[in-house]
């Protein structure tokens, strides 16, 4: 039985710290959850403790059945032209970069008699979604030319530290801030939101405020793991122990570990390794890639080494573990973000809240 244990006190600590810290820098926070079916408990904590909104990266399977937000959340992925009605129904705002999609979103919003806001994404160097900075004015002009227009141009946004590992600097942050001014001066169109993400921006905020016009920050990983991605650092003011993965031992046997005579690849196509050979104490743990990302887990007690992973098992060498372990015992792990996300979305991993 696999569980993702979420410590709500520690989560609240992180939410409170980030709310205060970002407010001091004039920033509203969009709390990022990659799971559209995310438990309401997490979202409630974020909204109750000062976050401005929630950003979600997937369209829920049944958007009509879950109007659970007091405020419609933000769709932080580019809308697929095949899913526009669901996006307009469920989300108040979406991130966009393609004028043809924006036109269709507008048609959809008109047909549904619904309002919908868009944030124009700008590629400031991380090579993720977005128009190039020099195309921004023309694109905003085109958006405003759409008639009749039900969609509302809410502002601009950019991503850092995601695809190219681009760190925030004066240059890329300056681009997005100056573009907001240019749109207002040149086109006389209000830019309400200037949004940057994700948690990599926290490194910058440890030293100084973000340039002028930036007024929204999107944070995901740091909330749950207390870490700053891209530079792989722990944030000194955040708690790293919000989330723990735990699962039980199904088998403990002494095995003769040696390379087979005829050796191919394992179930997942990786070449098996036999770092410790001879008689070894091996444990089979009750999870695999259906439940989490096993390679992103680190056992909290020492002496446990993950040696093989498949769809439903994770095999560990426990020969060097001094803790007395037996079948049925639970082993706790810390997680990287990939393991956290995959356990959060797996239907087989139960989420347990610790008060």
Ligand X SMILES: *Cc1c(COP(=O)(O)O)cnc(C)c1O
Residues within the interface to ligand X (CB under 6 A):
32, 57, 76, 159, 197-199, 218-222, 229
Give the angle 13-47-352 at the CA atoms, nearest 5°.
Answer: 60
Q: For residue 167, what is the DSSP state?
A: P
User: Cα(15)–Cα(129) distance, rounded to whole angstroms?
Assistant: 27
Which residue's CB is nearer to ligand X, number 58 or number 281? 58
Which residue's CB is nearer to ligand X, number 47 or number 160? 160
* Closest CB 230 distance from ligand X, rounded Å: 8
Which residue's CB is nearer to ligand X, number 168 or number 220? 220
Which residue's CB is nearer to ligand X, number 213 or number 218? 218
User: Cα(194)–Cα(155) distance, rounded to whole angstroms?
Assistant: 6
Which residue's CB is nearer to ligand X, number 76 or number 101? 76
Which residue's CB is nearer to ligand X, number 18 or number 88? 18
* Closest CB 43 distance from ligand X, rounded Å: 15
User: Cα(171)–Cα(272) distance, rounded to whole angstroms?
Assistant: 45
Q: Could you tell me the CA-to-CA distances from 203 to 134, 184, 210, 228, 247 in Å, in that order?
A: 27, 29, 11, 7, 33
* Closest CB 44 distance from ligand X, rounded Å: 19
* Closest CB 85 distance from ligand X, rounded Å: 22
Neighbours of 110 (CB within 10 A): 15
Give the angle 102-104-109 at the CA atoms, nearest 5°.
Answer: 95
Per the DSSP assignment, residues forming a β-bridge with 28 are 216
SS3 state of residue 106: helix
* Closest CB 338 distance from ligand X, rounded Å: 11
Q: What is the DSSP string of 297-318?
A: EEESSTT-EEEEE-SS-EEEE-
What are the phi and psi torsion angles at 264 (to 5°)?
A: -110, -150
* Closest CB 73 distance from ligand X, rounded Å: 13
Which residue's CB is nearer to ligand X, number 75 or number 287? 75
If phi > 0 it is left, if psi is from -120 to 50 it is alpha, else beta; for residue 188 that is left
What are the phi and psi torsion angles at 253 (to 5°)?
A: -140, 150
Per the DSSP assignment, residues forming a β-bridge with 251 are 284
- Looking at beta carbons, which residue is closest to ligand X? 198
Which residue's CB is nearer to ligand X, number 159 or number 342? 159
In contact, 65 and 89? CB cutoff 8 Å: no
What are the phi and psi torsion angles at 151 (to 5°)?
A: -85, 150
* Closest CB 57 distance from ligand X, rounded Å: 5
Neighbours of 134 (CB within 10 A): 9
Which residue's CB is nearer to ligand X, number 35 or number 39? 35
The tokens describing 310, both together, are 């498949």
* Closest CB 218 distance from ligand X, rounded Å: 4
* Closest CB 107 distance from ligand X, rounded Å: 25
């Amino acid at each position: 039985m696999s569980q993702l244990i979420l410590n709500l006190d520690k989560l609240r600590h992180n939410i409170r710290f980030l709310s205060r810290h970002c407010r001091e820098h004039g920033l509203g926070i969009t709390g990022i959850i990659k799971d559209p079916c995310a438990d309401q408990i997490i979202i409630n904590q974020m909204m109750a403790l000062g976050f401005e909104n929630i950003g979600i990266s997937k369209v829920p399977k049944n958007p009509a059945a879950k109007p659970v937000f007091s405020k419609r959340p933000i769709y932080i992925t580019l809308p697929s032209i095949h899913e526009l009605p669901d996006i307009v129904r469920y989300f108040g705002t979406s991130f966009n970069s393609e004028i043809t999609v924006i036109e269709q979103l507008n048609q959809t919003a008109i047909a549904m008699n619904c309002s919908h806001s868009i944030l124009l994404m700008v590629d400031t160097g991380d090579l993720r979604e977005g128009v190039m900075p020099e195309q921004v004015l023309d694109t905003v002009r085109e958006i405003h030319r759409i008639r009749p227009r039900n969609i509302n141009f809410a502002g601009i946004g950019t991503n850092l530290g995601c695809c190219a590992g681009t760190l925030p600097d004066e240059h890329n942050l300056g681009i997005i801030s100056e573009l907001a001014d240019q749109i207002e001066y040149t086109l006389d169109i209000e830019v309400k939101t200037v949004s940057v993400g994700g948690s990599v921006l926290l490194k910058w905020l440890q030293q100084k405020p973000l340039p002028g016009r930036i007024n929204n920050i999107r944070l995901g990983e740091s909330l749950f793991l207390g870490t700053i991605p891209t530079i792989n650092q722990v944030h000194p003011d955040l708690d790293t122990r919000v989330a723990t993965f735990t699962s039980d031992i199904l088998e403990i046997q002494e095995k003769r570990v040696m390379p087979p005579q005829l050796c191919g690849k394992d179930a997942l196509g990786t070449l098996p390794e036999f770092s410790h050979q001879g008689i070894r104490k091996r444990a089979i743990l009750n999870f695999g890639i259906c439940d989490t990302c096993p390679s992103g887990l680190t056992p909290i007690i020492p002496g446990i080494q993950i040696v093989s992973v498949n769809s439903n098992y994770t095999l560990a060498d426990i020969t060097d573990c001094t803790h007395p372990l037996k079948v049925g015992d639970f082993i706790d792990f810390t997680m990287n973000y990939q393991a956290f996300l995959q356990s959060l979305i797996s239907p087989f991993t139960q989420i347990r809240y610790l008060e």
